[in-house]
Amino acid sequence: MAVAVGREQLDALALNAEEYGAIVRAIGRDPNDLELGMFGALWSEHCAYKTSKTLLRQLPTEGPHVLQGPGENAGAVDIGDGLAVVFKIESHNHPSAIEPYQGAATGVGGILRDVFAMGARPIAILDALRFGPLDSGHNRHLFQGVVAGIGGYGNCFGCPTVGGELYFDPGYADNPIVNAMCVGLVRHDRLRRASADRAGDAVLLVGADTGRDGIHGATFASVEMDERSGERRPAVQVGNPFLEKLLCEACLRLNELTGVTAIQDLGAAGLTSAASELAHRGRRGIDIDVDRISRREKGMAAYDVMLSESQERMLVVLRPDAEAAAREVFDHFELHADRIGTITGTGRIRVRERGALAADLPLKALVDGVPLRAPAATFVERRSAPVMPAIEEPDAVLLDLLASPNLRSRRPIYRTYDHQVQDNTVIGPGFDAALLRVPGTSKGLALTTDGNPWYVALDPYEGTKAAVAEAARNIVCTGARPIAVTNCLNFGNPERPVVFGQLQESVRGLADACRALELPVVSGNVSLYNETSERNIPPTPVIGMVGLLDDLSLRCPAGFQEDGDLVFLLGESREELAGSAYLRLLGAPCEGRPPTVSLEMEGRLQAAMLDSIGRGVLRCAHDVSDGGLLIALAESALYGGLGLRCPGIVGPISREAFYFGESQGRIVVSVAPRRVPELQKLMAKHHVPLHAIGVVGGEEFQIGSDIRVSLDTLRQAWETAF
């Protein structure tokens, strides 16, 4: 087919010739520049999921409590009392690589808008972050900028940042991962879907004026980066959390009015995406008059206005007779609102500029018509695990691990985030999962994000299963029952067969784990092309999970509570060292088979935990994960400020694997001595192995004759500065 545009123009939009052909077939002519720009944005990987859509169909998305699955601004799950929890996780990797503060800040801003567009009040933010090692000045610049950007936005907005995770690995040098999750609450009858299903409704654009920032942001997020990516700084948006706070309060108030049909946030691909998606969801059309849109600068063409990703803007669709009441709300918050268009029955998006038709496209093709890509996949053959010498000084290894960047205390970071505002934070950041009160009830929501990148690098299927299992384990350690999942799939360039193979296996692992643990996936995001100068990031699925605790008084802490309590290890330890923090500490290559998860065993362990915590048997519970058993024990000691005496641990496996191996499906618990028989009975009932470890108490952390260090020494190592 003859192509009417140059290769360069298509490259700038990350479209290929085949896609251009599909556009021409769909509209029966060559698109003009604006129309091509609109297609480029909506057919970008970021907006259209053209590479991942087929894979994502495997995910279980339904369940008895799911009120809204994927496809909306965020997912929603019933938590009883007429309330729904609304949540989603999203990436902002590419912008953060170029401009870390604003990239991360607007990542938080975008996910907050997704949640309040659903009518829900945001109650928590979590952040999953990955960076290259901090011995590079550039990585440190990215790390500090991202952390400051998250705090700068969330703190000013007034939503607590209660959790998340942080890893460092050379694979993330120059291409950091910045995933933000937001959780909100709404009454069922106020849960709103962004679907404009009434022709004749008025369309208002509310909030910030439209500027040139972020043009082609969605496209930028859909191509690999190189040394010239810095030139894309103008494609990074600038956030204004103060305006967002006003916008949120206004939208929540608007949500109480009758006559408001839909609220939709403007995110990737700006007005083009927001307008097209909400009209298409309602099976209607939309007319937009770009001359009515307030701008930050003169000389902006329709193209700029339609593709700008200026932040803190919302589209509000309402019946014409509701406009006056809506304007009262905007006036109260001193927000600017332009009436920019109308919902029509045409099934088309029509953009007018100075009275002339500047774009006229069928929504079905624009929103749903992208040809799906099915790239080739290859799988890398596994190499055998490195063989390392036996440990000579276990105490030195323990201290070095505790002080290592991936295991040391995250307090220097989370104390720069307001994690308490809104008065619901029962368990804050720094533990297995955060626990928030559901206001007005005795219930709690447990929240976590997880994704160990090394397991996934070694085996994308097993690694992703492990991420789901670990997230669920973190939730049950608080006493809460996992109820649903959101996910962010961060991968490299899918046009490379190895990368597509990783994505394929990872999604299969996600689907299998969620199905086995009966956890619906209600929202998510895919971030591909995390490739810089031909180096791809390690495959990085991040699992966000929400759990429900019916009675907060039953919550279980992660730290030791009382002198004399007995400590047990639940679950089975195996000879699994590949992918461990221990091997990384020794400088061994990341090779071998990562810890594998038995989902059946995991289900039993989690049932046993909920049973035990529900009966008040446990004094504390802490998931055994990165760093292995001794790190988990040391953390429980440090959290509780109480020592541990352990007469010597003899496992059925090597000392290295028992101390520092990262076998999955294990939890450290403490119990009062008189409750031990009950614990034994419960674990027998659920067929969960139980291994006595030691006694809580004293000022020392002692493991047989191998380790004897004071809590102060442990703490000093753990609190090593970043």
Least CB distance to another protein at residue 160 (A) = 9
Q: Which is closer to another protein, CB of 18 or CB of 242?
A: 242
Query: What is the binding site for another protein (CB under 8 A)?
Result: 151, 155-158, 240-243, 245-246, 333-334, 414-426, 437, 439, 552
Task: Please tell me what DSSP assigns to residue 222.
Answer: T
DSSP states of 253-284: HHTTSTTEEEEEE--TTHHHHHHHHHHHHTT-
Q: Cβ distance 335 to 263 under 8 Å?
A: no
Query: What is the residue type of 276?
Result: S
Q: Which is closer to another protein, CB of 131 or CB of 414?
A: 414
Cα separation of 132 and 416, whole Å? Answer: 21
| Phi, psi angles (nearest 5°) of residue 620 | -155, 160
Task: Please tell me what DSSP assigns to residue 371.
Answer: P
Q: Which is closer to another protein, CB of 156 or CB of 690?
A: 156
Least CB distance to another protein at residue 244 (A) = 10
Least CB distance to another protein at residue 143 (A) = 14
Least CB distance to another protein at residue 203 (A) = 25
In the set 92, 280, 419, 622, the catalytic residue is 92
Half-sphere exposure of 310 (CA within 13 A, CB side): 22
Q: Which is closer to another protein, CB of 553 or CB of 705?
A: 553
Least CB distance to another protein at residue 161 (A) = 9
Q: How far is CA 395 from CA 390, 428, 464, 710, 714, in A?
A: 13, 30, 32, 11, 10
Least CB distance to another protein at residue 428 (A) = 9
386 is written with which tokens?
Answer: 């490195």
Question: Is 686 among the catalytic positions?
Answer: no
Q: Which is closer to another protein, CB of 83 or CB of 513?
A: 83
Task: Please tell me what DSSP assigns to residue 674.
Answer: G
Q: Cβ distance 700 to 708 under 8 Å?
A: yes
Cα separation of 296 and 299, whole Å? Answer: 10
Q: Which is closer to another protein, CB of 88 or CB of 121?
A: 121
Least CB distance to another protein at residue 383 (A) = 43
Q: Which is closer to another protein, CB of 284 or CB of 437?
A: 437
Cα separation of 667 and 610, whole Å? Answer: 12
Q: Which is closer to another protein, CB of 378 or CB of 420?
A: 420
Q: What are the start-end ranges of the H helices in 263-404?
A: 270-281, 302-307, 323-332, 363-368, 394-403
Q: What are the start-end ranges of the H helices in 133-228?
A: 137-157, 217-220
52 is written with which tokens?
Answer: 């991942």
Q: Which is closer to another protein, CB of 441 or CB of 596?
A: 441
Query: What is the residue type of 244?
Result: E
Least CB distance to another protein at residue 439 (A) = 8
The three-class DSSP label of residue 207 is: strand
The three-class DSSP label of residue 498 is: helix
Question: Is 46 among the catalytic positions?
Answer: yes
Q: How far is CA 695 from CA 171, 289, 672, 673, 715, in A?
A: 40, 72, 10, 9, 19
The three-class DSSP label of residue 120 is: coil
Residue that is written with structure tokens 């928030």 in the block: 436
Q: Which is closer to another protein, CB of 413 or CB of 516?
A: 413
Q: What is the largest CA-CA distance in the chain?
A: 85
Laid out side by side, the sheet with 161-168 consists of 66-68, 75-78, 83-91, 177-187, 121-131, 161-168
Q: Which is closer to another protein, CB of 31 or CB of 428?
A: 428
Q: Cβ distance 97 to 542 under 8 Å?
A: no
- CA torsion sign for 479, 417, 469, 632 is negative
Q: Which is closer to another protein, CB of 29 or CB of 332?
A: 332
| Phi, psi angles (nearest 5°) of residue 549 | -115, 120
Q: What are the start-end ranges of the H helices in 478-580?
A: 497-516
**Hey, which residues does 348 pair with through a beta bridge?**
362
CB atoms within 10 A of CB 588: 17
Least CB distance to another protein at residue 105 (A) = 13
395 is written with which tokens?
Answer: 């105490």
Least CB distance to another protein at residue 155 (A) = 6
Task: Please tell me what DSSP assigns to residue 70.
Answer: B
Least CB distance to another protein at residue 301 (A) = 30
Cα separation of 612 and 609, whole Å? Answer: 5
Parallel, antiparallel, or unpaired for β 434-437 and 444-450? antiparallel
Least CB distance to another protein at residue 208 (A) = 13
Annotated catalytic residues are 46, 92
